């Protein structure tokens, strides 16, 4: 395959190659006043977002521009989608207009896979920038890049993914990638926010954050996705914060080397105390910075170099 749609099935060698490329690109651009490489000159990349985004959309745009690609941003709300145009017709229109690669975010799980199928004959490549509750592969790759920088290696590490696992594409992509890279993954969440069958992902499930913290090398907090909880939110925000919010007392229970990650956007005061989010133990802005280099690497491997087999 020529797309990046998921981390499920992305083998460790390919993932490591992308992470190595991201690191090389980061070192290459470090301290440069003009961050511009000619690698993707003449290639056209379109971001097609049906859901809100700050980090993913902006970092893909920066990544494409730093690689000298022409980057065009399409948001569903300001496009002909608002007149009723289907995802398939929108994708074929973008391809006919010259897109070499479409980066798609969509509320429906599986949308990126459907898009890739429709665009296969056109030769247009697809990157999944988050599809419903399914996957967000570049988020998992940038999280792995950050863990490698902070911990030296991912293999053999014990990573706790904490919070709203039920609605989280970030959790799914991270479980698959972290396990492929040799980490042990713990899903730590209220019972109401663990999906049925999560035990089949190959991660252990627990509910007692305080008991788990001393054994973790990293805590990956998840955003509580109220917009996907149409039937209301249980536990309440207050109950959630008491049982799962990462405050200073809980931070002190972690080993000294352990790092705190959050994909953003974060709900300060509920998922994470502001003092923890802003502390040296948190790698949240480092994650965002790494997002640019990882997305450059993904564009490089898809459009200029080796194919990604996932
Ligand atoms: N982490 C993440 O996907 O953030 P955005 O929704 O801002 O892109």
State the ipTM, two decimals.
Answer: 0.99
Percent of the chain with pLDDT over 70: 97
Q: Which residue puts its alpha carbon closest to atom 4 of ligand 1?
A: 55
The number of the ligand 1 atom at minimal distance from the alpha carbon of 51 is: 6
**Binding positions for carbamoyl phosphate:** 55-56, 105, 136, 139, 264-265
Reported as type and span, the H/E element at residue 21 is: helix 12-29
Domain around 300: 12-136+288-304
| Coil, strand or helix at 292 | helix
- Give the pLDDT score at 309: 56
Q: Are residues 132 and 169 in the same domain?
A: no
- Give the pLDDT score at 1: 46
- Give the pLDDT score at 29: 95
- Give the pLDDT score at 197: 84
Let me know: does 188 contact 219? Beta carbons within 8 Å: no
Q: Are residues 144 and 279 in the same domain?
A: yes
HSE-CB for 15 with a 13 A CA cutoff: 30
Q: How far is the CA of 264 from the centre of ligand 1 (A)?
A: 6
Let me know: does 61 contact 71? Beta carbons within 8 Å: yes
- pLDDT tier at 267 (50, 70, 90 boundaries)? confident
Quickly count: other Cβ atoms within 10 Å of residue 192's Cβ: 11
Residue 278 has pLDDT above 60, yes or no: yes
Q: Are residues 202 and 118 in the same domain?
A: no
Residue list, ligand 1 pocket, CB within 6 Å:
53-56, 130, 139, 263-265
Residue 310 within a domain:
no
Per-residue pLDDT reduced to its tens digit, 103-113: 999 999 999 99
The number of the ligand 1 atom at minimal distance from the alpha carbon of 54 is: 7
CATH number at residue 193: 3.40.50.1370
Q: Are residues 275 and 300 in the same domain?
A: no
- Give the pLDDT score at 307: 58
Instruction: Could you list the beta-strand ranges (E) of 107-261.
Output: 125-131, 158-162, 184-188, 204-206, 218-221, 259-261
Most informative mutation of 47, 56, 129, 287 for ligand 1 (most atoms within 8 A of CB): 56
The β-bridge relationship of strands 218-221 and 158-162 is parallel
Q: Are residues 162 and 124 in the same domain?
A: no
The number of the ligand 1 atom at minimal distance from the alpha carbon of 58 is: 8
- Give the pLDDT score at 196: 87
Q: What's the rounded mean pLDDT across residues 263-286?
A: 95
Instruction: Could you list the beta-strand ranges (E) of the chain.
Output: 44-49, 70-75, 101-106, 125-131, 158-162, 184-188, 204-206, 218-221, 259-261
**Residue whose structure tokens are 């105390």:** 273
Residue 233 has pLDDT above 70, yes or no: no
Tokens of 79: 């496009």
The β-bridge relationship of strands 259-261 and 125-131 is unpaired
Q: Are residues 143 and 274 in the same domain?
A: yes
The number of the ligand 1 atom at minimal distance from the alpha carbon of 136 is: 3
Domain tally, the chain: 2
Q: How far is the CA of 54 from the centre of ligand 1 (A)?
A: 6
Question: Which residues sit opposite 71 in a β-bridge?
Answer: 45
Residue 236 has pLDDT above 60, yes or no: yes
Residue 294 within a domain:
yes
Q: How far is the CA of 55 from the centre of ligand 1 (A)?
A: 5
Residue 309 within a domain:
no
For residues 208 and 198, the model is more confident at 208
Q: How far is the CA of 257 from the centre of ligand 1 (A)?
A: 26
| Coil, strand or helix at 217 | coil
DSSP class of residue 80?
G
Q: Which residue puts its alpha carbon closest to atom 1 of ligand 1?
A: 263
The number of the ligand 1 atom at minimal distance from the alpha carbon of 263 is: 1
Residue 306 has pLDDT above 70, yes or no: no
Q: Are residues 56 and 130 in the same domain?
A: yes
Residue 174 within a domain:
yes
Most informative mutation of 55, 75, 283, 292 for ligand 1 (most atoms within 8 A of CB): 55
Most informative mutation of 105, 263, 287 for ligand 1 (most atoms within 8 A of CB): 263
Q: How far is CA 156 from CA 148, 183, 252, in A?
A: 12, 5, 22
Residue 3 within a domain:
no
Q: Are residues 211 and 92 in the same domain?
A: no
Q: Which residue puts its alpha carbon closest to atom 3 of ligand 1?
A: 56
The number of the ligand 1 atom at minimal distance from the alpha carbon of 264 is: 1
- Give the pLDDT score at 78: 84
Per-residue pLDDT reduced to its tens digit, 147-174: 999 999 999 999 999 999 999 999 999 9
DSSP string, 43-72: -EEEEEESS--SHHHHHHHHHHHHTT-EEE
Q: Which residue puts its alpha carbon closest to atom 5 of ligand 1?
A: 53
């Amino acid at each position: 395959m020529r797309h990046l749609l998921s981390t499920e099935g992305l083998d460790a060698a390919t993932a490591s190659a992308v992470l190595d490329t991201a690191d090389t690109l980061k070192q290459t651009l470090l301290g440069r006043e003009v961050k511009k490489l000619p690698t993707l000159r003449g290639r056209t990349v379109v971001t097609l977002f049906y859901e809100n985004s700050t980090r993913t959309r902006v970092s893909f745009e920066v990544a494409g521009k730093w690689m000298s690609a022409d980057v065009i941003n399409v948001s569903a709300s300001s496009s002909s989608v608002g007149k009723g145009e289907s995802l398939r017709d929108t994708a074929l229109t973008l391809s006919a207009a010259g897109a070499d690669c479409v980066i798609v975010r969509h509320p429906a799980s599986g949308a990126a896979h459907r898009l890739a199928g429709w665009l296969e004959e056109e030769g247009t490549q697809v990157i999944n920038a988050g599809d419903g509750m399914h996957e967000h592969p570049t988020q998992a790759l940038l999280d792995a890049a950050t863990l490698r920088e902070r911990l030296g290696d991912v293999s053999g590490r014990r990573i706790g993914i904490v919070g709203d696992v039920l609605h989280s594409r970030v959790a799914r992509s991270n479980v698959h990638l972290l396990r492929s890279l040799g980490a042990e993954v713990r899903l730590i969440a209220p019972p109401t926010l663990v999906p049925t069958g999560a035990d089949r992902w190959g991660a252990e499930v627990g509910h007692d954050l305080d008991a788990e913290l001393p054994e973790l090398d990293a805590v990956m907090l998840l955003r509580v996705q109220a917009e996907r909880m149409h039937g209301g939110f249980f536990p309440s925000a207050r109950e959630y914060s008491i049982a799962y919010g990462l405050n200073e007392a809980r931070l002190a229970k972690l080993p000294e080397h352990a790092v705190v990650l959050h994909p953003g956007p974060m709900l300060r005061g509920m998922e994470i105390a502001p003092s923890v989010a802003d502390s040296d133990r948190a790698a949240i802005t480092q994650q965002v910075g790494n997002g640019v280099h990882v997305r450059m690497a993904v564009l490089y491997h898809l459009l200029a170099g080796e194919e990604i087999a996932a």
